């Protein structure tokens, strides 16, 4: 007879039956009993598992004292050592959803145990923990509780048993957004021919690879007087100081570098080289300015055609680098440039 | 044009004193084949081995896989423009040692390819775990320049495949597949109500170990070209590339192009198969625009209602794939694309390097970064250390107990973008 | 990266060879580069010619930054 699995369950002050908005600032409390939805949930898993503790925390407290709350929750998890963590369901309650999301993500990453929660698809908490937790899709109010708990219970049971989940629509959860590779009966070419015939006949078909949609940014206004402008130079071509002091990777970069080029006339091959693994490096190493034109920008500064070249130069490697990381770099670099009052940027890619 | 492919079923393979087939057993005269291969004075030595389905054998690094075939009743044998002079193919009778394959291996230069496991987890991901393989490992003469080395390996594999099949020239085939169709004009007259489908096959054409060959011409040098499907089925197109093992098209897969086979199966019944356009994937923007524009023009000239487009490789060619798709869709021609994805080891990253909203019908051949754990092998044919230089392998891929951790990227044919394999991705 | 920097309201020009990807991803000011291994260089020219070429390219890049646009533009 295998061991029964242990669940630690998180609810907010309302579902924890402490109070409403008036109690939203309560600090986290742990009860070795089942409160609110945890009670109903416990009944649903009674054949193989138990809720060993319920954490109740005020939505405002969590959102305003995140670090403290997480510290408290960490010690609770360490004490009870659960096999799985369950939070909510938060339906469409924004602050509650954010709390479930942040805590869920944190617990998953720190303790490497499965996390299950429930939310209405528009709850802002969804994007916070989508990749880390399994978020079952609920209706938008607590009236959906009766339907939500059995779905959560079923998924929790599967996860603790190491069973693979089926598709989001079959199991009732919000797609995490991952593409899982599987072996199927029909070979790809057959699926392609079938898909073509379905399209031509006007029948329904389902694409196996929905195209990502990239958002658009409004074009930033043009520089009014370039002769007074501060121009920053950025590159994804991997031109770094010869010792690569920040160990920027040759591919799939996880970081960017920032280097002071205020005293330089250009990127000298004595001081700089390329570490980008995706192109023939010979030409860039002969003259790094071929990838990032610092020499000319400095010339323009001398000639009075631009105000000045920004003292910092930014670099990373563009090949194989995950979009998520690129976005992160852009956000950080942009913030620094904005704070420094940079007027415009030239970004070169290889 | 009528092509008959006669299958002689091979159920086992062994070395012996005479190269022949008897009751499904292919016997190979090792010394005779080795002598033939060594006629090429770029080759210093050759090692021949056998790998059977189910044996705990790992073959690495694989360069190409070729199906042994012979033209019945013809003095001219071999691959036109490559191992024989240019000649007509795609008609008559070709006999096949069906179930056998020649696998060439060996390090050449730079990034290598690929793994074929005949057993366990790895066997699921490659079609060549099911073939009886004759493994050819050549040692080049010292100081041989990489281009010559690549040519020597390629020709050795093709020649070995022709040598093996020679003994089957006058044998009776157990199964005969017929590929027959009239010319384009006749087909349209014959099947006025069937949708006209064109197959566009993209070929990676990006330099040494990144090229395909059509009648011996490097695909880098071609413009998008219309050919009869029988030509590809009968040896006009061969592989010269070792980009990523998972989706490069081996010569075997050209000879058995699954899109061609599946379209042919429905020709005259549910669709009118117009033909095949071979399109090079080039490295310059100008080249890409040219290839895509001309490909779309050919589709329009032929009056295609639908086009199936298959890619080879990933990264910059994703752009070509989507440009072709966009040009066709904007003219009202329906497309279905077959491609693999680079969604990262966790499957969360965007699948392609580029995007276009017109690509509404895409078949996914799987995520090249899907991680697999391969069981320890008893025999390694080739060089296990090569895994470090294989896309999808890395420095610590080989575990102490002999298991290999790697991505599907490293396994031959795992995410075949001509849909040869039955792998896909599902949203979770 | 280009888009994230532009989100702060700072005009930015992307000099890249495969402009199709730059367009798909959504950069607004795009300028074709010379070639992948040397976006603003050309080893086939003499050093003096090469520097003159780069001078022209940077001039073009700065002009894109001075140009008002409403939509994605390849210069």
Reported as a single tens digit per residue, the pLDDT across A183-198 is 999 999 999 999 999 9
Is residue B262 pLDDT above 80, yes or no?
Answer: yes
Average pLDDT, chain A: 92
The average pLDDT across C39-48 equals: 92
Q: Which chain A residues have a beta carbon less than 8 Å from that of B361?
A: 195-196, 199, 205, 207
Average pLDDT, chain B: 94
Residue A198 domain-assigned?
no
pLDDT at B315: 80
Higher pLDDT, A136 or B313: A136
pLDDT at A327: 81
Residue A162 domain-assigned?
yes
Residue A187 domain-assigned?
no
* Contact state of B285 with C21 under an 8 Å Cβ cutoff: no
Whether A55 and A118 share a structural domain: yes
Q: Is A248 on the interface with C (CB under 8 A)?
A: no
| Annotation says B292 is catalytic | no
Residue A27 domain-assigned?
yes
Q: How many Å apart are CA B123 and CA B275, to the nearest integer?
A: 33
Is residue B243 pLDDT above 70, yes or no?
Answer: no
Q: How far is C45 from chain A, CA to nearest CA, in Å?
A: 12
Whether A28 and A166 share a structural domain: yes
Instruction: List pLDDT tens digits, range B51-92.
Output: 999 999 999 999 999 999 999 999 999 999 999 999 999 999
- For residue A266, what are the domain limits? 226-348
* Contact state of B356 with A211 under an 8 Å Cβ cutoff: yes
Reported confidence tier of residue A277, pLDDT bands at 50, 70, 90: low
Is residue A322 pLDDT above 70, yes or no?
Answer: no
Q: How many Å apart are CA B263 and CA B254, to the nearest integer?
A: 15
Is residue B380 pLDDT above 90, yes or no?
Answer: yes
This model's pTM is above 0.90: no
Is residue B384 pLDDT above 90, yes or no?
Answer: no
Instruction: List pLDDT tens digits, range C1-32.
Output: 899 999 999 999 999 888 888 888 889 999 99
Q: How far is B41 from chain A, CA to nearest CA, in Å?
A: 32
Q: How many Å apart are CA B78 and CA B163, to the nearest integer?
A: 9
pLDDT at A278: 64
pLDDT at B427: 92
Whether A164 and A58 share a structural domain: yes
Q: DSSP characters for chain C?
A: -HHHHHTTT--EEEEES-HHHHHHHT-SEEEE-S-TT-TT--TTS-HHHHHHHHHHHHHHHHHHHHS--SS-EE-
Mutate to test the interface with C, among B285, B315, B359 (most CBs of C within 10 A): B285
Residue A183 domain-assigned?
no
Q: Are strands B210-214 and B237-241 parallel, antiparallel or unpaired?
A: antiparallel
pLDDT at C65: 96
Are A347 and A234 a contacting pair, CB within 8 Å?
A: yes
Phi-psi region of B141 (alpha: psi -120 to 50; beta: other; left: phi over 0): beta
The share of chain A scoring above pLDDT 90, in percent, equals 83
Higher pLDDT, B143 or B233: B233
pLDDT at B391: 75
Q: How far is A339 from chain B, CA to nearest CA, in Å?
A: 31
Q: A132, A151, A171: which is the final residue of a domain?
A: A171
Residues with Cβ within 8 Å of residue B104, at least 6 apart in sequence? B62, B63, B64, B65, B66, B135, B136, B137, B138, B153, B154, B156, B157, B160
* Contact state of C24 with A286 under an 8 Å Cβ cutoff: no
The average pLDDT across B307-329 equals: 94
Q: Which chain A residues have a beta carbon less than 8 Å from that of B363?
A: 188, 191-192, 195, 208-209
**Nearest residue in chain C measured CA to CA from B357:** C24
Tell me what ipTM this predicted complex has. 0.96
Q: Does residue A199 sit in helix, strand or coil? A: helix
Instruction: List pLDDT tens digits, range B163-195.
Output: 999 999 999 999 999 999 999 999 999 999 999
Residue A186 domain-assigned?
no
- CATH number, domain with residue A13: 3.40.50.280
User: Poorest-confidence range of A6-10, B28-32, B347-351?
Assistant: B347-351
Whether A9 and A82 share a structural domain: yes
pLDDT at B147: 82
Write out the two tokens for C75.
Answer: 């210069």
Residue A182 domain-assigned?
no
Whether A135 and A256 share a structural domain: no
Q: Which residues of B touch C (CB under 8 A)?
A: 283-285, 288, 316, 319, 322-323, 353-356
The share of chain B scoring above pLDDT 70, in percent, equals 98
Is residue B242 pLDDT above 80, yes or no?
Answer: no
pLDDT at B157: 96
pLDDT at B222: 95
Are A174 and A119 a contacting pair, CB within 8 Å?
A: yes
Residue A335 domain-assigned?
yes
The share of chain B scoring above pLDDT 90, in percent, equals 82
* Contact state of A184 with B424 under an 8 Å Cβ cutoff: yes
Q: Which chain B residues have a beta carbon less than 8 Å from that of A181?
A: 347, 366-367, 370, 408, 423-425
pLDDT at A252: 67
Residues with Cβ within 8 Å of residue A264, at least 6 apart in sequence? A271, A294, A298
**Nearest residue in chain A measured CA to CA from B259:** A189
The average pLDDT across A192-218 equals: 93
Number of domains observed in the structure of chain A: 2
Reported confidence tier of residue B110, pLDDT bands at 50, 70, 90: low
pLDDT at B112: 67
User: Poorest-confidence range of A61-75, A132-146, A237-251, B406-420?
Assistant: A237-251
Query: CA-CA distances (angstroms) from residue A123 to A100, A120, A307, C17?
Result: 11, 6, 47, 41
Q: Which of B346, B366, B420 faces A189 most closely, judged by CB atoms?
A: B420
User: Poorest-confidence range of A145-154, B110-119, B149-158?
Assistant: B110-119
pLDDT at A41: 95
* Contact state of B354 with C21 under an 8 Å Cβ cutoff: yes
Q: Which chain B residues have a beta carbon less than 8 Å from that of A205?
A: 361
Reported confidence tier of residue B227, pLDDT bands at 50, 70, 90: very high
Domain limits, chain C? 2-74
Q: How far is C44 from chain B, CA to nearest CA, in Å?
A: 17
pLDDT at B24: 96
Whether A162 and A241 share a structural domain: no
Q: Is A169 on the interface with B (CB under 8 A)?
A: no
**Smallest Cα–Cα separation from B44: which of B141, B143, B144?**
B141
The average pLDDT across A38-56 equals: 94
In total, chain A counts a number of residues equal to 350
């Amino acid at each position: 007879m295998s061991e029964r699995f242990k669940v630690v369950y998180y609810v907010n002050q309302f579902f924890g039956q402490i109070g409403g908005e008036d109690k939203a600032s309560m600090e986290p409390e742990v009860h070795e009993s089942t409160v609110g939805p945890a009670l109903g949930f416990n009944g649903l898993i009674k054949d193989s598992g138990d809720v060993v503790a319920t954490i109740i925390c005020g939505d405002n407290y969590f959102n305003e004292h995140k670090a403290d709350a997480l510290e408290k929750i960490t010690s609770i998890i360490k004490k009870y050592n659960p096999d799985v963590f369950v939070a909510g369901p938060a339906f469409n309650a924004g602050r509650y959803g954010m709390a479930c999301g942040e805590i869920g993500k944190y617990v998953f990453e720190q303790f490497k145990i499965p996390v299950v929660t429930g939310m209405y698809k528009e709850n802002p908490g969804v994007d916070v923990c989508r990749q880390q937790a399994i978020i079952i899709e609920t209706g938008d109010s607590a009236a959906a509780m009766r339907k939500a708990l059995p779905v959560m219970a079923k998924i929790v049971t599967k996860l603790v048993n190491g069973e693979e989940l089926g598709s989001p629509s079959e199991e009732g959860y919000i797609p995490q957004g991952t593409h899982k590779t599987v072996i199927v009966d029909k070979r790809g070419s057959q699926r392609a021919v079938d898909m073509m015939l379905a399209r031509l006949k006007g029948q329904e078909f389902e694409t196996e690879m929905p195209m990502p949609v990239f958002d658009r940014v409004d074009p930033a206004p043009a520089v009014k007087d370039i002769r007074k402008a501060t121009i920053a130079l950025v590159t994804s071509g991997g031109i770094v100081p010869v010792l690569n002091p920040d160990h920027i990777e040759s591919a799939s970069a996880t970081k960017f570098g920032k280097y002071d080029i205020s005293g330089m006339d250009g990127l000298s091959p004595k001081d700089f080289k390329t570490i980008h693994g995706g192109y023939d490096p010979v030409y860039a190493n002969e003259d790094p300015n071929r990838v990032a034109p610092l020499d000319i920008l400095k010339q323009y500064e001398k000639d009075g055609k631009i105000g000045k070249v920004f003292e910092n130069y930014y670099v990373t490697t563009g090949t194989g680098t995950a979009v998520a990381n690129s976005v992160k770099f852009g956000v950080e670099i942009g913030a620094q440039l904005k704070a420094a009052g940079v007027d415009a940027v030239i970004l070169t890619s290889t | 044009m009528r092509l008959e492919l006669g299958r002689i079923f091979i159920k086992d393979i062994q070395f012996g004193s005479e190269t022949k087939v008897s009751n499904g057993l292919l016997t190979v005269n090792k010394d005779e084949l080795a002598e033939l291969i060594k006629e090429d004075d770029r080759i210093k030595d050759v090692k021949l081995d056998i790998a059977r389905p189910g044996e705990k054998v790992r073959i690495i690094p694989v360069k190409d896989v070729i199906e042994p075939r012979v033209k019945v009743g013809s003095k001219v044998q071999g691959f036109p423009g490559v191992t024989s002079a240019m000649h007509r193919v795609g008609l008559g009778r070709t006999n096949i040692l069906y179930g056998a394959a020649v696998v060439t291996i060996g390090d050449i230069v730079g990034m290598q390819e690929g793994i074929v496991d005949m057993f366990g987890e790895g066997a699921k991901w490659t079609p060549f775990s099911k073939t009886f393989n004759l493994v050819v490992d050549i040692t080049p003469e010292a100081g041989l320049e990489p281009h010559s080395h690549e040519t020597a390996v390629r020709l050795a594999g093709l020649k070995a495949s022709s040598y093996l099949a020679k003994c089957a020239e006058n044998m009776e085939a157990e199964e005969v597949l017929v590929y027959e169709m009239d010319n384009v004009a006749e087909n349209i007259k014959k099947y006025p109500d069937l949708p006209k489908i064109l197959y566009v096959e993209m070929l990676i054409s990006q330099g040494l170990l990144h090229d395909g060959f059509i009648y011996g011409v490097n695909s880098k040098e071609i413009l998008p070209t219309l050919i009869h499907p029988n030509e590809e089925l009968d040896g006009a197109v061969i592989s010269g590339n070792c980009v990523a093992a998972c989706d490069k098209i081996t010569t075997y897969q050209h000879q058995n192009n699954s899109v061609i086979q599946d379209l042919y199966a429905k020709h005259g019944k549910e669709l009118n198969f117009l033909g095949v356009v071979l399109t090079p994937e080039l490295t310059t923007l100008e080249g890409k625009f040219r290839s895509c524009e001309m490909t779309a023009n050919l589709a329009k000239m032929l009056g295609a209602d639908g086009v199936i487009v298959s890619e080879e490789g990933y990264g910059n060619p994703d752009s070509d794939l989507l440009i072709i798709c966009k040009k066709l869709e904007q003219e009202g021609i329906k497309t279905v694309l077959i491609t693999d994805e680079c969604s990262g080891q966790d499957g969360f990253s965007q699948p392609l390097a580029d995007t276009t909203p017109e690509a509404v019908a895409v078949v996914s051949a799987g995520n090249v970064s899907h991680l697999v754990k391969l069981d320890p092998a008893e025999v390694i044919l080739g060089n296990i250390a090569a895994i470090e230089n294989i896309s999808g392998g890395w420095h610590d891929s080989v575990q102490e107990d002999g298991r290999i951790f790697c991505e599907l990227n490293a396994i031959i044919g795992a995410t075949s973008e001509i849909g040869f394999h039955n792998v896909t991705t599902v949203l979770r | 990266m280009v888009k994230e920097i532009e989100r702060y309201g700072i005009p930015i020009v992307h000099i890249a060879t495969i402009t199709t990807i730059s367009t798909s991803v959504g950069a607004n000011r795009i300028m074709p580069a010379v070639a992948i291994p040397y976006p603003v260089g050309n080893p086939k020219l003499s050093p003096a010619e090469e520097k003159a070429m780069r001078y022209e390219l940077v001039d073009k890049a700065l002009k894109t930054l001075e140009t008002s646009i409403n939509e994605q533009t390849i210069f």
